[in-house]
Amino acid sequence: MLITIDIGNTNSKIAAWDGDQMVAHWRLSTQRQKLTDEYAVLVRSLFELRGIAINQIEGCAISCVVPPLTSVFSELSRTYLNVEPVVIGPGIKTGMRLLIDTPRELGADRVANSVAAFRRYGGPVIAIAFGTATAFDVISVEGDYIGGAIAPGIGISADALFRAAAKLYHVELARPPRVIGKNTSHYMQSGIVLGYAGLVEGLVTRMWQELGMRGTVVATGGQAEVIADIIAGETHVIDHVDPWLTHEGLKMIHAMNRQ
C-alpha cells in the first residue's frame, strides 16, 4: 500500500493506494505549528478508522509547499510509517524536463500535477490548480513543462473584497441568476464567480495562442470540487475536473523513484 501526502497552504490531502486503486482519502487543515507526533496521532487515527494497518504501508510520497512541514511529514513517514518517503524536489526523477528559468522554485504540487496531467491526457495540456492561489501549468506536446501563471485564488480574492469594503458581506460562491445583478448579493456573485471564470478563460485562451493550438485543460487543487465545478460550468475551456490529480502524480513519481 502506498500513502500520498499533498501539503498545501490551507488544506492538506492524504490518500491511500492499493496498487492503482485509491482506497481511502482524507482532507485536513494545514497547521504549521503542529509537531510530528501530533500529526502522527491524527494520521494513525484516520488509518484505524478505515481499517488500514501501519504494517500494510510500503511507500510514501510527499509534496509540500509549506517548507517547515516538509521535515515534519518526512519524519512522520520514517518514524511512524516505517518507510523512507519520496519527497518531490530537486534530484527526484519525474520523467519531465522543466524548461523554465527557475526549476528549483517550481512548487512540488505543480510538478506532480504536470506529470499526471500529461500522462493521463497527453499534450499539450494545461493543469489549473484551484487553491489558496490558482496556478496554471503548461506542458508541451513533447511532455516538457514550459511555464505557467499564478493568480490570486478566488477565496482570498473574495475575502479581500469583504475586508476592504465596509458595506459588503460574505456571499455564497455560486452562480447568480443573471450576469446583471439586481441586489448586492448577486452583484458580488456576478463579479466574483463569473469574473473569475473570465480570468480563467482569458489566461487559457492566451496560452493557447502562444502554443499555436488548443490544448486539453484539467482543473484540480484543494478547491477543485467546489470552485472548479462552478467555473467549469461558466466557461468552455475546462475539459476535465480531477480533484485528485496531484495524488495521481505523486503515485507516478513514487514509482519512478522507489528504488
Asked if 175 and 208 count as a contact pair (C-beta separation under 8 A), the reply is no
Helix residue ranges, H only, 58-165: 67-76, 108-121, 154-164
Is the separation of the CB atoms in 134 and 150 below 8 Å?
yes
Bridge-based pairing of strands 86-87 and 216-220 is unpaired
- Give CA–CA dist 129/97, Å, rounded: 20
Check whether 79 is labelled as a binding-site residue: no
Residue 30 marked in a binding site: no
The answer on whether 7 is annotated among ligand-binding residues is yes
Task: State yes or no: 10 annotated in a binding site.
Answer: yes
The catalytic residue among 18, 37, 101, 109 is 109
Q: Please give the single-letter amino acid code of residue 137.
A: D
Is residue 257 marked as binding? no
- Decide if 161 contacts 167 (C-beta within 8 A): no
Q: Which three cell numbers stand for residue 214?
A: 488548443
Judge whether 184 is annotated as a binding position.
yes
* Residue 93 marked ligand-binding: no
165 annotated binding-site participant: no
CA distances from 213 to 19, 55, 66, 89, 123 (A): 35, 48, 35, 31, 11
Query: Is 109 marked as a binding-site residue?
Result: yes
Q: Is 109 known to be catalytic?
A: yes
Rounded to whole angstroms, how far apart are CA atoms 63 and 252? 13
Is 117 one of the annotated binding-site residues?
Answer: no
Question: Is 220 annotated as contributing to ligand binding?
Answer: no
**With the CA atoms of 38, 46, 56 and 107 taken in that order, what torsion angle do they form, in degrees rounded to the nearest 10?**
-70
Q: Is 8 annotated as a binding residue?
A: yes
> Which residues belong to the active site?
109
> Binding site: what residues are annotated?
6-13, 107-110, 132, 184
> Binding site for ATP: what residues are annotated?
6-13, 132
> Binding site for substrate: what residues are annotated?
107-110, 184
